[in-house]
Amino acid sequence: MKSVLIRLLERERGLFAGALVIAAACIALGVPVDFALFALTLAGVALFHHHTLPVALIGLGVIVLYKLGFTGFKTGPGLPGLALHLAHEWVILANLLGLLLGFALLSNHFEESRVPAALPRFLPDDWKGGFVLLLMIFVLSSFLDNIAAALIGGTIARTVFRGKVHIGYLAAIVAASNAGGSGSVVGDTTTTMMWIDGVDPVDVLEAFVAAGVAIFIFGIPAAMQQHRHSPITRDAAAGVTVDWPRVLIVAFILIVAIVVNVVVNVRFAELSDSFPFIGAGVWAAILVAALWRRPAWSLLPGALKGSIFLLSLILCASLMPVEKLPAASWQTALGLGFVSAVFDNIPLTALALKQGGYDWGYLAYGVGFGGSMIWFGSSAGVALSNMYPQAKSVGLWLKHGWHVALAYVIGFFVMFAILGWHPNAPHKARAAGPATPAAAPYSAS
């Protein structure tokens, strides 16, 4: 066994050495060093998936040192420029940290409520049970944060599949949570950003055409994968009694998150970039509810490690010199979905809003659903991988979650065939300009 591990490590080192050679060639051809370093960080995460946190932190450190020594930051050179950059990004990072940690406790409340153990009474007994569960996650995510939807789905799956959840099905849970929010201005951070910026919610709604097709394309194969791997529990465990106080606690925390998100971004948009309101709201609800039922505080250290990993990648992405996108077109919108699998979708969306000329439903679908193609491509994927560490392999995710990428492409072109490409008219008729789009609470890639 030891010799096998050594050979695998040597192979990974060899592949990473190849990535170094490719990066050096790209730099010689004019690719900015910043992008090459970020690409190497992502390659390291993909290859050394048992050491993702150290790889992400090392990558972040190297990128920061390079920018300190050579290029400076968008906000200025040296340490002052770095300080200004962090001052601009801290609300997004703090919101995401609050959501990832808070929803880890929420998912445990939901599991302890024993609702997942009672669900087999209502889900079909064969592969269709797994598919119905994905549909439930899709619907939940249309009005909940996608992290919460993914964790609730993962909690149910762990119970009804007796802890044996296939990686392809985990990819489908993440895809369902991201697809469900792509057409709703309260279901995903990127669509909320569009709403704040003046995009009509009806223009975003058309993303559900693509998302509705996509969930059948990835959902049915994933449900069949899961059924072959570990069939759904046919009957609820005898004597299961739902702990309704915990159910009410889950509902209370989710309602607080939704209300804070909507109120801050609609009524007080000018303040949304000054404080992590949604993360603070979730934690205020958790602490109040703790007077009734004690949360599983022991889960926080593990969730914190996964959260720091994602925050490191988001911070790396925010340091990239992305000042403009290609001309707005359906091809660009399609490509942004693939870019979103490895790149922070908040700056991508902000740039697209500034550029204009998009059919916003396509953009919402691309940046909202695209991150599902890789496990660290969205916050929902990172949160779920904290629950299921076996998902932290890009190779296995792509191999067994092949249906997600296929669904993304087919859904996109079905929407294109039905609706066509109709760039929306300028939407910048705002009376008293709201906060910058990037200040919206981060919830999904």
Query: Of 49, 71, 93, which residue sits at a domain end?
Result: 71
Q: Decide if 351 is inside a domain.
A: yes
Q: Decide if 178 is inside a domain.
A: yes
Q: Are residues 229 and 282 in the same domain?
A: yes
Q: For 176, how many CA atoms within 13 A lie in the half-sphere containing its CB?
A: 32
Q: How many CB atoms lie within 10 A of CB 377?
A: 30
Q: Decide if 371 is inside a domain.
A: yes
Q: Where are the alpha helices (DSSP H) in 268-401?
A: 277-289, 300-318, 330-339, 345-355, 360-369, 379-387, 394-400
> What's the pLDDT score for residue 335?
93
pLDDT in tens, 148-172: 889 889 988 998 898 899 999 999 9
Q: Decide if 444 is inside a domain.
A: no
**pLDDT band (50, 70, 90) for residue 46:** confident
Give yes or no for residue 289 having a pLDDT over 80: yes
Length of the chain: 445
Quick one: CA dihedral 59, 62, 68, 72, positive or negative?
negative
Q: If DSSP codes are grouped into helix, strand and coil, which group holds residue 188? A: coil
Cα separation, 262 vs 265, whole angstroms: 5
Q: Decide if 110 is inside a domain.
A: yes
Tokens 């969730």, located at residue: 303
Q: Are residues 255 and 404 in the same domain?
A: yes
Q: Are residues 348 and 406 in the same domain?
A: yes
Residue 407 structure tokens: 């669904």
> What's the pLDDT score for residue 442?
38
Q: What percent of the chain has pLDDT over 70?
A: 89
Q: Are residues 67 and 128 in the same domain?
A: no
Give yes or no for residue 10 having a pLDDT over 60: no
Give yes or no for residue 361 having a pLDDT over 60: yes
Q: How far, in whole angstroms, is CA 333 from its chain's centroid?
A: 18
Q: 387-417 burial by CB neighbour count: b if 16+ within 10 A, else e?
A: bbeebbbbebbbebbebbbebbebbbebbbe
Query: Of 42, 71, 100, which residue sits at a domain end?
Result: 71
> What's the pLDDT score for residue 326?
80
Q: Are residues 31 and 104 in the same domain?
A: no
Q: Are residues 203 and 282 in the same domain?
A: yes
Give yes or no for residue 297 having a pLDDT over 80: yes
Give yes or no for residue 81 having a pLDDT over 50: yes
Tokens 């909690």, located at residue: 155
Q: Decide if 216 is inside a domain.
A: yes
Cα separation, 131 vs 123, whole angstroms: 9
The residue with greater pLDDT, 256 or 11, is 256
- 137-146, 263-272, 279-288, 407-416: range with lowest mean pLDDT: 263-272
Q: Decide if 380 is inside a domain.
A: yes
Q: What percent of the chain has pLDDT over 90?
A: 36
Query: Of 36, 71, 106, which residue sits at a domain end?
Result: 71
> What's the pLDDT score for residue 235?
65
Strand partners, 76: 73
**pLDDT band (50, 70, 90) for residue 360:** very high
pLDDT in tens, 207-219: 999 999 999 999 9
> What's the pLDDT score for residue 441?
39
Quick one: CA dihedral 224, 144, 184, 306, positive or negative?
negative
Give yes or no for residue 68 having a pLDDT over 90: yes
**pLDDT band (50, 70, 90) for residue 4:** very low
Q: How many CB atoms lie within 10 A of CB 294?
A: 9
For 408-416, what is the mean pLDDT? 97
For 50-56, what is the mean pLDDT? 85
Report phi then psi at 4, rounded to 5. -65, -45
Residue 400 structure tokens: 């067994």
Residue 318 structure tokens: 């925010």
Cα separation, 77 vs 73, whole angstroms: 6
Q: Decide if 420 is inside a domain.
A: yes
Report phi then psi at 234, rounded to 5. -75, -30
Q: Are residues 55 and 97 in the same domain?
A: no
The residue with greater pLDDT, 63 or 262, is 63
Q: Are residues 432 and 318 in the same domain?
A: yes
Q: Are residues 57 and 131 in the same domain?
A: no
Give yes or no for residue 402 having a pLDDT over 50: yes
Residue 118 structure tokens: 């009672």
**pLDDT band (50, 70, 90) for residue 362:** very high
Give yes or no for residue 390 having a pLDDT over 50: yes
Q: Are residues 67 and 107 in the same domain?
A: no
If you average pLDDT over every residue of the chain, what do you get?
Answer: 84
Cα separation, 161 vs 123, whole angstroms: 12
pLDDT in tens, 320-346: 876 666 888 999 999 999 988 877 676
Give yes or no for residue 3 having a pLDDT over 70: no
Cα separation, 54 vs 66, whole angstroms: 18
Tokens 């003046």, located at residue: 198
Q: Are residues 91 and 64 in the same domain?
A: no
Q: Which domain holds residue 11?
A: 1-71
Cα separation, 303 vs 312, whole angstroms: 14
Residue 173 structure tokens: 């849970």
| Reported pTM | 0.79
- Tell me if 97 sits within 8 A of 307, measured CB to CB: yes
Q: Are residues 46 and 135 in the same domain?
A: no
Give yes or no for residue 134 having a pLDDT over 90: yes
Cα separation, 147 vs 132, whole angstroms: 19
As for how many domains the chain has, the answer is 2
Q: For 157, how many CA atoms within 13 A lie in the half-sphere containing its CB?
A: 35
Q: How many CB atoms lie within 10 A of CB 325?
A: 17
